[in-house]
Structure 1
């Protein structure tokens, strides 16, 4: 599919689509965050860090890789990992053979928290996102968002 050439300034209709996309994302994100905090005392960012570590080889990622995976700045992910480490969900470990290398590693406690929090989060995704669209709409939205990423 070819994308038509654009002028430098979006039209009203294009800006409406953009703003609606942003509002929808912000709304769903706020609702999912509120549910996780209320039920699990875990932020959406903290949940994302735990998911990324759980899916990583050996449940470990270098801090820079983790920052890229969760779309936070390196200082932002460092502060978040600090909080998760204090709560016992993540541990920092030195990288063998790399004097300055540090990885964040998911602890067993972190994995347990993630398993419990996943029930809350996935129920929220089902209720606030999946249930509001039919299968064809979900497929199209996934395709469209994929185009935005590529």
Structure 2
């Protein structure tokens, strides 16, 4: 039973992720990982997270999150900062431009997520798991 539910989750995740990624790129010219990082940063205390914490929250490894943050920085959407108590600790901090883009893209994210989950509820491969998410 656990393996079957896990399989449904993996399939559903792929379906929803592909849909979100396509629409975020099409409507806002931003990748899904970039949006997810901005969303986490926007909701974090002081708009900042340690790089490792951000990696864990969005499901990336350290190398991938470093490249992601570099892309955000080059777009003026975030900046790096050092931890005042531990100079080895590196934070990424959302900028006002990053906040503006996240606010602009949030309705798209929510709407597409809801649409994708509605469609999944009718898909026999994932309907059981999708129904559990909508409770």
| TM-score when normalising by structure 2 | 0.83
Cα RMSD (Å): 2.7
1:127 has 2:115 as partner: yes
User: What is the number of equivalent residue pairs in this alignment?
Assistant: 130
Q: Which has the larger radius of gyration?
A: 1
Per-residue deviation at 1:131? 6.7
Per-residue deviation at 1:95? 1.2
Q: Which has the higher contact order (CA 8 A, sep 6+)?
A: 2
User: Which of structure 1's runs of 4+ aligned residues deviate more than 4 A?
Assistant: 130-133, 137-140
In the other structure, the counterpart of 2:40 is: 52
2:12 and 2:130 in contact (8 A); partners too: no
| Residue ranges of structure 1 left out of the alignment (5+ in a row) | 145-150
| Residue ranges of structure 2 left out of the alignment (5+ in a row) | 122-127
In the other structure, the counterpart of 1:110 is: 98
In the other structure, the counterpart of 1:43 is: 31
